[in-house]
Amino acid sequence: MRRRKDPVAQRARRALAEAPDVLEAAARSLSGAPRSRAALTERLIVAGYPEELVHAAISRLVELGLIDDERLAQALIDSRDRSRQRGDRAIMQELRRRGIPDEIATRLMEQRAEGPTSIEHGATGGDVVTAGAEERAARAALSRVRLRGTDARAETQRVAQMLARRGFPPALCWSLAREHVTNHIREGSGAGEAFDQDGGTE
């Protein structure tokens, strides 16, 4: 049976590490998954490496292009748009958890929101404004939702809450939930059972 290493002894050894050792440890930490500058700095300092040498190693990796907060943030945003369909608020929270500076996160999210704006006719008779990536992500999330019943208000509330948990803004959640449920009812009944804009519990 393999013996577990003593974490106290490990930290003591790391505290005596030289600059090349810290640089190697930093590069090794990036081999498993990309990390932001802040996240990797914290990881190495918590592990016990000398803070001054950690900052020097991180700066060197930035110079070599092995750490790039903007590239990491953009890759994360693109990934969430493709696969997980999250709202702006949820993506911003994840970027912050990953150690992406607010300046970079805010700029990239603003660029994400600069998609083309169009107007479509909603199922309730009003116009639904489609504003860039966030609404496209919300609609993609809706495409995976299966409705469970025929109670329009209950289903609208359930769908809106699902979107809200993914970080989409409340107004968008309710607008798209109403549209989605009404379309489902109309397709299922033929004659249609629409409900007004104030339907449901907000």
CA distance 70 to 129: 30
Span 21-46, average pLDDT: 95
CA distance 120 to 183: 14
Predicted confidence (pLDDT) at residue 124 exceeds the cutoff of 80: no
Span 163-179, average pLDDT: 84
Residue 132 · residue 113 · CB < 8 Å? yes
Confidence label for 122 from pLDDT (cuts 50, 70 and 90): very low
Least confident among 32-36, 59-63, 116-120: 116-120
Task: Return the pLDDT at 194.
Answer: 38
Q: Give bridge partners of residue 119 from the DSSP assignment.
A: 129
Q: Enumerate the domain spans of the chain.
A: 7-63, 70-112, 117-189
Span 27-38, average pLDDT: 94
Q: What is this structure's pTM?
A: 0.61
CA distance 1 to 82: 44
Task: Return the pLDDT at 24.
Answer: 96
Which is it for the CA torsion 44, 49, 54, 57, positive or negative? Answer: negative
List, for residues 77-116, the tens digit of each pLDDT value: 888 877 666 778 888 999 999 999 999 999 998 887 765 4
